[in-house]
Structure 1
Amino acid sequence: MARQLDEQIAARFPVGRRLRVLDVGMGQGTQALRLARLGHQVTGVEQDAELVDAAREALAEQPEGIRERVRLVQGDGRDTGVHFLPGSFDVVLCHGVLMYVEEPDALVAGLARMLAPGGLLSLLVRNGDALAMRPGLSGDWAGALAAFETTACLPHARMDSNGGTPARLGPDVRADRLAALTAMLAGLGAPLHAWYGVQVFTDTAADDAPVPPDLETLLAAEERAGRTDPYRTVAALLHLCGVRG
């Protein structure tokens, strides 16, 4: 996902430009710190106090120059209009958040308003068109059949969307369909510019699976599949990139 994001940033902005980045639902701050290390000014928003504390601890270990480029805010991503002015950011990230929001329209609309003209909106969502894949590949035929009729996700472990520790999805987690999000982004003035699949081959990996020795080859295979049809259409997650008109 980080490689996909970097590709889209490089396509939208001049090399060396320091961008204003808003990371809503930053988790432990992995992406926020990564982008700050690349020279960008990053504001991270997270509702969970424990995750904010973890992000602060990670930030404290960084050199002063990086610490100065990061601002951490504890709050709900739906309150962006309270904290920030419209058009304040060049890039807005919302990774692994919409799956916990029952009605995502208002949240996404608020995020789109935060973008300056030409700004990039990066969303990572559970793929509602591929929910039958995990139970089907695991031999849970009843679960696979049930998944065709819903966008509610079955509980299972997942890797924190910003690169942190695994977290367990609860019964209230939901998924989004590509067509619905495409229409939503178009209606908000930030039409879909590119989209990728994430976790095409690795969604069924055990929670405690060790890092394989051929990790770089695994990542190369995932990255290739994530941009190639038909593989990306059955990925566990979708990475959508909209551009503000």
Structure 2
Amino acid sequence: MARQLDEQIVGRFPVGQRLRVLDVGMGRGARALRLARAGHQVTGVEQEPAMISTARRTLTAEPEGIRERLRIVQGDGRDTGVHFLPGSFDVVLCHEVLMHVEEPDPLLAGLARMLAPGGLLSLVVRNGDAQAMRPGLSGDWAAALAAFDAVPRPPSRGDADTGAADRPGPEVRADRLTALTATLAGIGAPLHAWYGVGVFIDTATDTDATPTADTDPEAVPGVLLAAEERAGRTDPYRGVAALLHLCGVRG
């Protein structure tokens, strides 16, 4: 996900531009901190106090310049209009959050309003077109059959976020590519590019080598990362990934 996001940023904005980034559902802050280290001005929004505390502790170990570039706001992302003016950000991230929101359209519309013209909206969602893949590959045939028709109830993020968000459990909501494509067009940030995330990694047998959302991409075994990156941008493989990474651009 980190490399996919970098690809979109480099392809859309001038080299060296200091971007205004909003990270909704920043979790423990690894993604926000990486962007702050790259020189961008980052605002992280998170509703869980424990995660905010972890992010703040990590931030205290950073140099002053990086600490000044990362602001943390407590919230669930649906109140962005209270905290920020429309068009305040060049990049808005909403990674692995929609799966925990029962009605995502109002949240997405609010996030799109936060984007400046030409701004990038980056979403990571559970892939509703491939819910049967993981239980099927693991030999859980009953779960695979049930997944074809399941409409899971979304739990709270506090109950569901275990630090392995790239392996979402069965009790989170999923989104379909076609439906989200239509939604993005309707909110004025039409789909520009999309990737699969977790095509092969979810089936890796060495769990110590399996990355999570907070893993530094450079720490992932090279051959696994290369295969995952290639599959995540190649049809038909990306279509059966556990997660989808969608990138919309504000008109």
- Counterpart-to-counterpart distance in 2, 1:154 and 1:51: 20
Deviation at 1:166, TM superposition (A): 2.8
Matched, 1:183 2:189: no
Segment drifting more, 48-57 vs 137-146:
137-146
- Counterpart-to-counterpart distance in 1, 2:89 and 2:29: 18
Check conservation: 1:154, 1:171, Cα contact below 8 A: no
User: What amino acid is the match of 2:202?
Assistant: D
Deviation at 1:204, TM superposition (A): 3.2
- Counterpart-to-counterpart distance in 2, 1:153 and 1:8: 32
- The unaligned stretches of length 5 or more in structure 2 are 211-218
Q: Deviations over 1:90-116 (max 9, x none)?
A: 000000100000010000000000000
Deviation at 1:170, TM superposition (A): 6.1
**Match for residue 248 of structure 2?**
242
Identify if the C-alpha distance between structure 1 residues 192 and 28 changes in structure 2 by more than 3 Å, giving closer, same or farther: same
- Counterpart-to-counterpart distance in 2, 1:236 and 1:153: 18
Identify if the C-alpha distance between structure 1 residues 14 and 45 changes in structure 2 by more than 3 Å, giving closer, same or farther: same
- Counterpart-to-counterpart distance in 1, 2:43 and 2:91: 10
Matched, 1:194 2:200: no
User: What amino acid is the match of 2:164?
Assistant: P
- Counterpart-to-counterpart distance in 2, 1:89 and 1:63: 24
- Indicate the SS of the match to 2:6: helix
- Counterpart-to-counterpart distance in 2, 1:2 and 1:144: 30
User: What amino acid is the match of 1:196?
Assistant: Y
Check conservation: 1:128, 1:151, Cα contact below 8 A: no
- Counterpart-to-counterpart distance in 1, 2:200 and 2:78: 33
User: What amino acid is the match of 1:4?
Assistant: Q
Deviation at 1:165, TM superposition (A): 3.3
Check conservation: 1:22, 1:92, Cα contact below 8 A: yes
- List structure 1 segments (4+ residues) > 6 angstroms apart after TM superposition: none
Identify if the C-alpha distance between structure 1 residues 214 and 237 changes in structure 2 by more than 3 Å, giving closer, same or farther: closer
**Match for residue 215 of structure 2?**
none
**Match for residue 227 of structure 2?**
221
- The unaligned stretches of length 5 or more in structure 1 are none
User: What amino acid is the match of 1:46?
Assistant: E
User: What amino acid is the match of 1:6?
Assistant: D
TM alignment of 1:194-213, pairs within 5 A: 194-205=193-204, 209-211=207-209
Check conservation: 1:131, 1:153, Cα contact below 8 A: no
**Match for residue 149 of structure 2?**
149
- Counterpart-to-counterpart distance in 2, 1:188 and 1:105: 9
Root-mean-square deviation over aligned CA pairs? 2.2
Identify if the C-alpha distance between structure 1 residues 226 and 153 changes in structure 2 by more than 3 Å, giving closer, same or farther: farther
Check conservation: 2:99, 2:154, Cα contact below 8 A: no
**Match for residue 133 of structure 1?**
133
**Match for residue 173 of structure 2?**
174
- Indicate the SS of the match to 1:210: helix
User: What amino acid is the match of 1:89?
Assistant: F
Check conservation: 1:45, 1:75, Cα contact below 8 A: yes
**TM-score, L = length of structure 1:** 0.91
Deviation at 1:171, TM superposition (A): 5.8
**TM-score, L = length of structure 2:** 0.89
Q: Deviations over 1:213-237 (max 9, x none)?
A: 9701111110000000000000000
Deviation at 1:148, TM superposition (A): 1.1
- Counterpart-to-counterpart distance in 2, 1:183 and 1:102: 18
Q: Deviations over 1:155-186 (max 9, x none)?
A: 9xxxx99xx93368566410000000000000
- Indicate the SS of the match to 1:77: coil
TM alignment of 1:49-88, pairs within 5 A: 49-88=49-88
Check conservation: 1:197, 1:225, Cα contact below 8 A: yes
